[in-house]
């Protein structure tokens, strides 16, 4: 049933990063400037770079790319006075299934990202920044390039930024369709003109990043938040979120809801509240399973709809906050099939560097196909869990770890669904010869 959200829940909508999305043409620099644009930069350059880093630490701001690493701490890792060039790389490769917050941000408010980049570069003393945009997002790259040109024309970029004696150049760099290039070290290899395969960490990019120089890599949302935090203050940012999770977050709702889209709220809102904001479940659908942060985060069930959506609470509930990509599935959707389709994705996107991931995902797609075509055995369930054991913690990068999430969580909550296929109570979804979605 569609119903208007209650006043109490409506008041939880907290547009900060999304505030300008509704203003017409806010992507133009003149409009942006009228809406407080570049005021944070003018304020920031009044302080010493070290003070900006300390301020970001104090704000409790954490990375929005999925792992939630403290932003100020990452900036503080950059060695100063080391004689090496420093770089800022913005991760705009957004590829995690379910995740769809960075592209609309770059389309609607590109200058907030550019302004955040300038402040971040000022703080860590970087003279060059790259934005690595996923290749398919041609529209977003175009809009960012345009924003860079506008900012350059106004003296926010280029030589002697705002007459403050520092230079900054921002380059928009398009990828070419590889999910793994969102992993920060694979991204660096790709940006250096190689196949995008992860590097061993440590050393972390903070000391050995782009061209083996100190490099900050942050997600689009992490950096676009910076001007808001600088203007509003550390205490304000903390007050918007919950303990250990400062600020607002863009929650992306997709799937079986009335009004899918981006809902920005303070950290710690619950799925039930978000569903209310989104007009409820779609007609004829009842919530059955969902992801809190994209396909790499273990799925949860209707029982978890009141868990606060912040890092610690979601971890306690057995999942990961990730990219706050809430994919909502109903009683008409099959968790076995959903997991299968994600594993097809991971198998396709595995870079092939390490055996557990390259082989494990390949075998899991076969096992899923067998189960979904009605020829599965009880042993297959053990095979899946075995494969996950070999992946989790044994893969070279987070892609392999992430792949296990849907398998183990769907087996934990929905084993009966698997058994129904295996024991013939459920009509096969796949034709044995069918290679649905495989490529």
Partner 1 sequence: MAYSEELREQARQIMARYPEGRQRSALLPMLHLVQSHDGYVTPEGIALCAEMIGITKAQVAAVSTFYTMYKREPTGDFLVSVCTNTMCDVMGGQRVYDTLKEYLGVDHDETTADGKITLEHAECLAACDYAPVMTVNYEFYDRVTPDSALGTVEALQ
Ligand X SMILES: NC(=O)C1=CN([C@@H]2O[C@H](COP(=O)(O)OP(=O)(O)OC[C@H]3O[C@@H](n4cnc5c(N)ncnc54)[C@H](O)[C@@H]3O)[C@@H](O)[C@H]2O)C=CC1
Ligand Y SMILES: Cc1cc2nc3c(=O)[nH]c(=O)nc-3n(C[C@H](O)[C@H](O)[C@H](O)COP(=O)(O)O)c2cc1C
Positions touching ligand SF4 (CB under 6 A) are 180, 198, 350-354, 357-358, 395-397, 399-400
Burial of 305 (0-12, 13-18, 19+ CB in 10 A): middle
> Applying CB under 6 A, which of residues 37, 293, 298, 376 lies at the interface with ligand X?
293
Q: Please state the closest distance from residue 196 (CB atom) to ligand SF4, in A.
A: 9
For 96-116, give the DSSP string.
STT--SHHHHHHH-HHHHHHH
Report yes or no: 156 and 196 within 8 Å, Cβ to Cβ.
no
Task: Tell me if 198 contacts ligand X by CB under 6 A.
Answer: no
Separation in Å, CA 430 to CA 180, 360, 426, 439:
28, 21, 12, 16
CB nearer to partner 1: give 32 or 342.
342
Task: Tell me if 261 contacts partner 1 by CB under 8 A.
Answer: yes
CA atoms within 13 A on the CB side of 90: 35
Report yes or no: 60 and 249 within 8 Å, Cβ to Cβ.
no
Task: Please choose, from the candidates 192, 262, 255, 257, the residue with its C-alpha nearest in 3D space to the C-alpha of residue 220.
Answer: 262
> Applying CB under 8 A, which of residues 36, 58, 136, 420 lies at the interface with partner 1?
136
Contact region with ligand X (CB under 6 A), list: 92-100, 118-126, 388-396, 406-414: 92-100
| Gap between the Cα atoms of 395 and 82, Å rounded | 33
Q: Please state the closest distance from residue 96 (CB atom) to ligand SF4, in A.
A: 13
Selection from partner 1, ligand Y, ligand X, none that 64 binds (CB < 5 to 8 A by kind) is ligand Y
Q: List binders of partner 1 among 161-200 (CB under 8 A).
A: 171, 173-179, 190-196
Dihedral Cα 360, 361, 364, 366, nearest 10 deg? -110
Q: Looking at the DSSP assignment, which residues form a beta bridge with residue 257?
A: 281
| Gap between the Cα atoms of 256 and 413, Å rounded | 19
Task: Tell me if 212 contacts partner 1 by CB under 8 A.
Answer: no
Separation in Å, CA 90 to CA 34, 132, 186, 218:
25, 6, 13, 5
Selection from ligand Y, ligand SF4, partner 1, none that 222 binds (CB < 5 to 8 A by kind) is ligand Y
Applying CB under 6 A, which residues contact ligand Y?
63-67, 69, 91, 93-96, 180, 182-184, 217-219, 222, 397-399
CB nearer to partner 1: give 273 or 349.
349
Burial of 202 (0-12, 13-18, 19+ CB in 10 A): exposed
CB nearer to ligand X: give 184 or 273.
184
Which positions from 95 to 114 touch ligand X by CB under 6 A, shown as an x/- string?
xx--x---------------
Task: Tell me if 149 contacts partner 1 by CB under 8 A.
Answer: no
CB nearer to ligand Y: give 5 or 356.
356
Contact region with partner 1 (CB under 8 A), list: 42-50, 229-237, 343-351, 382-390: 343-351
User: Strand order in 261-266's β-sheet?
Assistant: 261-266, 248-255, 325-330, 287-291, 300-301
Separation in Å, CA 3 to CA 259, 332, 342, 381:
11, 22, 32, 41
| Gap between the Cα atoms of 348 and 358, Å rounded | 9
Cβ neighbours for 390, distance < 8 A, ≥ 6 positions apart: 356, 360
CB nearer to ligand X: give 96 or 276.
96
Selection from ligand Y, ligand X, partner 1, none that 26 binds (CB < 5 to 8 A by kind) is none
CB nearer to ligand SF4: give 177 or 352.
352
223: tokens are 């950096």
Contact region with partner 1 (CB under 8 A), list: 41-49, 61-69, 70-78, 91-99: 91-99
CB nearer to partner 1: give 4 or 171.
171
> Applying CB under 6 A, which of residues 65, 214, 227, 241 lies at the interface with ligand X?
65
Q: List residues near partner 1 by CB under 8 A.
A: 85, 94-100, 102-103, 128, 134-139, 171, 173-179, 190-196, 211, 252-255, 260-262, 295, 325, 327, 329, 333, 338, 341-342, 345, 348-349, 351, 436-437, 439
The residue ranges that bind ligand X (CB under 6 A) are 65-67, 69, 74, 77, 94-96, 99, 182, 184, 204-206, 217, 293, 296, 320, 322-323, 398, 402
């Amino acid at each position: 049933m569609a119903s208007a959200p209650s006043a109490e829940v409506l008041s939880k909508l907290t547009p900060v990063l999304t505030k300008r999305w509704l203003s017409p043409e806010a992507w133009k620099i003149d409009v942006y400037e009228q809406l407080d644009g570049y005021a944070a930069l003018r304020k920031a350059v009044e302080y010493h770079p070290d003070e900006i880093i300390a301020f970001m630490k104090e704000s409790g701001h954490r990375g929005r790319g999925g792992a939630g690493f403290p932003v100020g701490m990452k900036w503080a890792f950059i060695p100063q006075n080391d004689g090496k060039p420093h770089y800022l790389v913005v991760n705009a490769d957004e590829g995690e299934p379910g995740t769809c917050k960075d592209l609309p941000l770059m389309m609607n408010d590109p200058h907030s990202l550019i302004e955040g980049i300038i402040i971040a570069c000022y703080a860590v003393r970087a003279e060059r920044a790259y934005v690595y945009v996923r290749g398919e997002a041609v529209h977003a790259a175009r809009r960012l390039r345009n924003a860079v040109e506008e900012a350059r024309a106004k003296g926010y970029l280029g030589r002697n930024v705002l007459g403050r004696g520092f230079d900054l150049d921002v380059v928009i760099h398009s990828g070419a369709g590889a999910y793994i290039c969102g992993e920060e070290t694979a991204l660096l290899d790709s940006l250096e003109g190689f196949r995008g395969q992860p590097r061993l960490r440590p050393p972390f990019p903070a000391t050995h990043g782009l061209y083996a120089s100190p490099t900050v890599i942050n997600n689009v949302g992490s950096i676009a938040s910076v001007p808001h935090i600088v203007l509003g203050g550390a205490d304000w940012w903390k007050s918007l979120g919950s303990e250990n999770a400062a600020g607002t977050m863009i929650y992306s709702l997709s799937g079986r809801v009335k009004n899918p889209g981006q809902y920005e709220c303070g950290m710690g809102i619950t799925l039930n509240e978000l569903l209310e904001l989104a007009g409820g479940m779609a007609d004829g659908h009842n919530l059955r399973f969902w992801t809190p942060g994209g396909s790499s985060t273990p799925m949860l069930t209707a029982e978890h709809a009141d868990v606060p959506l912040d890092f610690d609470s979601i971890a306690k509930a057995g999942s990961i906050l990730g990219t706050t990509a809430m994919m909502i599935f109903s009683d008409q959707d099959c968790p076995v099939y959903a997991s299968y389709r994600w594993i097809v994705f991971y198998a396709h996107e595995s870079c092939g560097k390490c055996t557990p991931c390259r082989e494990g995902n390949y075998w899991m797609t076969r096992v899923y196909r067998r189960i979904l075509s009605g020829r599965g055995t009880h042993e297959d369930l053990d095979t899946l869990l075995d494969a996950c054991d070999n992946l989790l913690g044994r893969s070279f990068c987070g892609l392999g770890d992430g792949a296990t999430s849907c398998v183990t969580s769907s087996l934990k909550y929905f084993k009966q669904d698997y058994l129904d296929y295996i024991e013939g109570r459920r009509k096969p979804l796949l034709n044995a010869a069918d290679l649905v979605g495989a490529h």
